[in-house]
Amino acid sequence: MRAAALLLAVLAWPAQAAWEWSAPLTVNSVQGAAIFPHLESANRQGVAVSGDTVGVVWEDNRSGSPQCYLAMKPATAAAFKPEIRLSQADCFEPVVLALGAGRFVTAWEEAGTVHARVLPGGTVLQLTQAEAAQVTLAIRGDALYAAWAEQAGRFRRIVVARLTVNADALGVKTAQPVEAAMPADEQGWPALAVAGDGSVTVAWEDRRSRHTVPMVSHSRDGRSFSPPVRLTDIESGSAPGGLGAGTGAMRPTLTARGEQGVVAVWLDKRDFLSGYDVFAAIDTGNRRFGKNIRVQDNFGDNMAQWHALVVGDARGRLVALWDDARDGTPDVWLSEWEGEAFGDDVAVPGAAGPGGQSDPVATFDAAGSLHVVWLERGETAGTRIRYAHAERN
């Protein structure tokens, strides 16, 4: 028994040694059995670090209707400040991005259109007049972009906008659909990344092939986009007998990585009997994604993975996170790119163990620390939004 424990400790050592985690903190100041916070958003952008300030956004129903909130904390502080309410009407799927020096830009869906605001200070800018949802943001230098899914006839399509920031005021410089033609089926859940060369990559869910396929397009200038191609290397097609249209894949996320790279991670049901798996594809800089790579290790094989995302940084670090219940209850898992493949899955301490820990969002700060936020569901006390950061040692 002791030998088995020693063996397990030795096997686990390389992964455990990789990240040194802070003690988790609670982000949301109001909890209750009938209050339901959500961290869902396009590209899962629920946390950002701007200078020495951490910002977290979410939606909950504490006021009796779904509203969006931002909580901030100096990096060294032991607690988050009371949250700021961002919205006035029903609000969903907020995102946050660092502008630097403690400033953030946030965006969200409110009353059927998408809005954005610089914080602290700033006023709300309504980004669309048309019905729109699932907004996301990306920045490189002073080039700030937003993307969202906007109603165009019967279906939604993806629109990309270049935004301007003057002090605390946001503006829309340009906004145009990725494709000029009207959508042939539903499009949604866009993800954006701005690479080191300034080019913009946008990925989204697309149903033009009569099943859900993550598609991707690039733009050198943020205005003219290449014809979309699929992220998945599984072709569409019916099963024998003309059944169906293809396997499912959903919720693509993107991150810029290194000098020129862009990496995508999504949920993929090509193995349709074991739920969604986490898959990735890497664009090293030629604006073409390589072969699909399965992210989670074999211990996650017969288990559905959920809420996957990818985060990278300019130094080349690359981490995928998700939740699954391989140990009996949902835990947050992390896998780091090791040059040729993703490494062993590591449970995030504080986001694993008894109870349910799920819905991770994450970001790297400028110094390379990893910041992770997740939901911790309690039976009676309600759901807490939890935060921890980790240093690579």
Chain positions contacting another protein, by CB under 8 A: 34, 36, 38, 40, 61, 66, 92, 133-134, 154-155, 185-186, 188-189, 205, 207, 209-212, 236, 238-239, 241, 243-248, 250-251, 269, 272-275, 303-304, 306-307, 325, 358
Phi-psi region of 328 (alpha: psi -120 to 50; beta: other; left: phi over 0): left
Q: Are 124 and 91 in contact (CB under 8 A)?
A: no
In the complex, least distance from residue 354 CB atom to another protein, rounded to whole angstroms: 17
| Nearest residue (CB) to another protein, 249 versus 311 | 249
| Residue with tokens 């409110």, as numbered in its chain | 110
User: Using a CB cutoff of 8 Å and minimum separation of 24, what contacts does 297-300 make?
Assistant: 297/335, 297/342, 297/344, 297/345, 299/326, 299/345, 300/324, 300/326, 300/333, 300/345
Q: Are 232 and 249 in contact (CB under 8 A)?
A: yes
**Residue in 367, 366, 362 with CA at minimum distance from that of residue 388:** 362
Q: Are 295 and 280 in contact (CB under 8 A)?
A: yes
In the complex, least distance from residue 249 CB atom to another protein, rounded to whole angstroms: 8
| Nearest residue (CB) to another protein, 307 versus 386 | 307
CA-derived radius of gyration, the chain: 20
| Nearest residue (CB) to another protein, 317 versus 377 | 377
| Nearest residue (CB) to another protein, 188 versus 261 | 188
| Nearest residue (CB) to another protein, 26 versus 61 | 61
| Nearest residue (CB) to another protein, 170 versus 308 | 308
- How many Å apart are CA 391 and CA 39, to the nearest integer? 23
- How many Å apart are CA 379 and CA 69, to the nearest integer? 23
- How many Å apart are CA 211 and CA 246, to the nearest integer? 6
| Nearest residue (CB) to another protein, 142 versus 379 | 379
| 3 state SS of 78 | coil
Side-chain-facing half-sphere of 230: CA atoms under 13 Å:
18
| Nearest residue (CB) to another protein, 183 versus 312 | 183
